[in-house]
Homo-oligomer: A and B are copies of this chain.
Amino acid sequence: MAQSLRMTAMRWEGWGDPARAISLPPQLRALLDNALGVRPTGRPAGPLDAIELPPPAFDPSGLRTIVGEPNVRTGSVLPAGHEEVLDVLRWCAQRRVAVVPFGGGTSVVGGLAPVRAGFAGVVALDLARLDRLVALDPVSRTATLQAGVRAPAAEELLAAQGFTLGHFPQSFEYASIGGFAATRSSGQYSARYGRFDELVVGLRVATPQGSVGLGRAPRSGAGPDLRQLFLGSEGTLGVITEVTARVHPAPAGYTHAGWRFASFPDGMGALRRLAQDGPLPAMVRLADEYETALTAPGIDGCLAVVAFEASPVPAVEAVLRAAGGTPLGAEPGEAWARGRFQAPYLRDALLDAGALAETVETATFWSGLPALYDAVRACLMDNLGTPPLVLCHVSHVYPTGASLYFTVVCAQSGDPVSQWRQAKQAVNAAILAAGGTISHHHGVGTDHAAGLAEEVGPLMVDALRAVKRRLDPAGILNPGILLGTTVGP
């Protein structure tokens, strides 16, 4: 993972480090050209400095007093710690300036695109200066990290003392600790280490109404677990400034192996065995026939990639074998590991080539998983207006169910934003009808706000709004995110 620890600034109009941009593999290129009819659109993004922003509609000089002159930039404020975050929030609340907490900027659901109407302006509250490992408790195996620590830096800080968070989502190279908590992030090795919301034992949060500190014990019977209100709150209820999370002794390394299953249901059965009766490896993910054909040509059926701390565990292999799996050796697994953070670069290359490339993810219980798969796949096949490529894999497993991650690629129509919006709306309806959740780990942002209300019901969205009104009466925190546009001052 050494290479991924080098941090660079993110491209403004795409993912990651321009030096690591990739070209489309020739077979994919041919598929786009021939089967999907993808053609260049001639709509490049253009350089950032060609965009002129209007001056802010509020006088930011007060913010300079709080965080210091160099830490107020065009539309961006960089506080040094919890107390400065509190001061900035109070200042903004008094002036009706909306605040977007900014960690890694990796949201794919419009989590950083707030409603502006009704506000004097919007500032990005950039948490980059909250970059310290505050404490490590090797006895309890917990670490307290400031929210702005980027994931690669967190791993470096912990590795120096022999520990790891073990949290490696696809956004790993840019994502931040606070963002992991605020979005209930899932890492690729969640089978071993748990989701990030399961790793969190304590939170420090700054709200316009004051500070919150939660988490005095691993588990408590003292009322509802209030940490859970902020996990998944996506910056709308407060700004998470510190996270205390479980850590694990860092393993010497990981090994990855490929396994073949004759069909997607066969593979699902094997994953269910591992999730229900164990032992679970660090990761087990299963591609459907379509994703296998494209990403691992030559494997007839479905590829499962299994990750282990250190070396393969014979008891896991025995379960896979008993469930009909055939071992394919290390290479298909290591190939996955080499490309594990590359999908966003591939997406950009697809967009550059004129393709529409999007993802949809959901989860449900094991008994409903096949029907959910069929419903979402059928919906994606039918609702894009051009013939699409639809790929899917099971990305995370639990004793009672699992998640499905779909990738769709097709030719862009003349209005690709509407093209995707229409398909996504149909997919969301299909997910809800099939009993799935509107998002397993991408979050709500603006894209899923309507779906959230359908999933939990308007009464519970209102209950969350009631919490927001208490903690953020002026409604300045990430307006329009999560709770939709009807919340406001």
A interface list, Cβ under 8 A from B = 137, 139-142, 183-186, 195, 197, 201, 207, 209-214, 216-226, 228-234, 246, 272, 276, 362-368, 396, 398-403, 435-444, 448, 451-452, 455-457, 459-460, 462-467, 469-471, 482
Which residues of chain B are near A364, meaning CB under 8 Å? 216-217
Apart from A219-B363, A228-B228, A459-B471, list 16 A-B contacts with CB within 8 A: A184-B220, A212-B456, A216-B364, A216-B455, A217-B403, A218-B400, A219-B398, A221-B441, A223-B234, A224-B230, A226-B456, A226-B460, A229-B229, A463-B471, A465-B470, A466-B466
Which residues of chain B are near A223, meaning CB under 8 Å? 232-234, 443-444, 452, 456, 464, 482
Q: Select one of B401, B439, B452, B460 contacting A218, CB under 8 A.
A: B401
Q: Which of A201, A219, A365 counts the most B-chain CB atoms under 10 A from its CB?
A: A219
Q: How far is the CB of A197 from chain B (nearest CB, A)?
A: 7
C-alpha gap A234/B224 in the complex (Å): 9
How many copies of this chain does one complex carry?
2
Q: How far is the CB of A189 from chain B (nearest CB, A)?
A: 15
User: A210's closest neighbor in chain B, by CB?
Assistant: B459
User: A471's closest neighbor in chain B, by CB?
Assistant: B463
Q: Select one of B214, B217, B229, B436 contacting A365, CB under 8 A.
A: B217
Q: How far is the CB of A224 from chain B (nearest CB, A)?
A: 4
B435 contacts A216, C-beta separation under 8 Å = yes
Supposing A217-B364, A217-B437, A469-B466 touch, asked if A456 and B139 sit within 8 A by C-beta, the answer is no
User: A278's closest neighbor in chain B, by CB?
Assistant: B279
Supposing A140-B401, A213-B457, A435-B216 touch, asked if A222 and B448 sit within 8 A by C-beta, the answer is yes
Q: How far is the CB of A234 from chain B (nearest CB, A)?
A: 7
A437 contacts B216, C-beta separation under 8 Å = yes
User: A438's closest neighbor in chain B, by CB?
Assistant: B222
User: A195's closest neighbor in chain B, by CB?
Assistant: B219
C-alpha gap A482/B223 in the complex (Å): 7
